[in-house]
Amino acid sequence: MIVIENVFNEQQLLQVRQWLQHATWDNGLVTAGQQARGVKKNQQVTAGSKVSNTVEDLLLDVLARHPAFISAALPLKIVTPMINRYLVGETYGLHVDNAIRVPLNSTTRIRTDLSATLFLTDPANYDGGELEIKEQFGSQKLKLNAGDLVLYPSTSLHQVTPVTRGERISVVFWIQSMVRDNEQRSMLYDLDQSVQSLTGTLGHEAKEVMQLSGLYHNLIRKWSDT
């Protein structure tokens, strides 16, 4: 699980909140899989609407230029982001996300390796509404600052706990990674982080940096599908 802070800056958050004032909201069940039907109670901005497309364009543009996101996700394809809203009493109970998603107006099938939530609401403005992710060694509850993003393996059981005050808006989306295996992807991320920090201290022409950087690229060559 990786948290990336300030994916949207203050100005972008303000812009997105302005766009959302013109949004129409559908019942969240329209995109729920079989397993999710019983536990999903929220709303989402109409898929394919102008507001939805505008937020999506901004997000994809930001992500395409975001080194930490690229290093952590090694994205091959990103599935159409959905903007979700939870009002008081709304929740999304324990579930595992669908393995395959088909973007709107498309026949492409995208395998979900990573799930992502970008928080849009200031945590001071609502109670409850935590994203709880069950991991091998226990569970973690997240309530990130507006603009922050969490990436977690789509294999994880997770839920959004009921909102008890205010409203919680976030963008959720899925990534098919060039490296499908979670452990391999996670090791590549650690290696890349080490290369970045060594580059900072030794410079990118240092022998060790070049060797490790070569190792990073050769592992990607070995493990990636494009």
Positions that interact with Ni ion (CB under 5 A): 97
CB of 97 to Ni ion, least distance (A): 4
Phi first, then psi: give them for residue 206, nearest 5 degrees.
-65, 145
d(CA 196, CA 200): 6
CB of 34 to Ni ion, least distance (A): 14
Our CB check for Ni ion shows the closer of 97 and 148 to be 97
Our CB check for Ni ion shows the closer of 52 and 115 to be 115
Our CB check for Ni ion shows the closer of 149 and 188 to be 149
Q: What is the largest CA-CA distance in the chain?
A: 57
Contact 13, 146 (CB under 8 A): yes
CB of 101 to Ni ion, least distance (A): 11
CB of 44 to Ni ion, least distance (A): 12
> How many residues in total does the chain contain?
226
CB of 162 to Ni ion, least distance (A): 15
Residue with nearest beta carbon to Ni ion = 97
Name the strands in the sheet holding 40-41, side by side, starting at the edge strand that comes first in the sequence.
Answer: 40-41, 91-95, 158-160, 131-135, 138-142
Our CB check for Ni ion shows the closer of 97 and 130 to be 97
Contact 75, 177 (CB under 8 A): yes
Our CB check for Ni ion shows the closer of 40 and 185 to be 40
Give the H or E element holding residue 3: strand 2-4
DSSP 8-state symbol, 101:
E
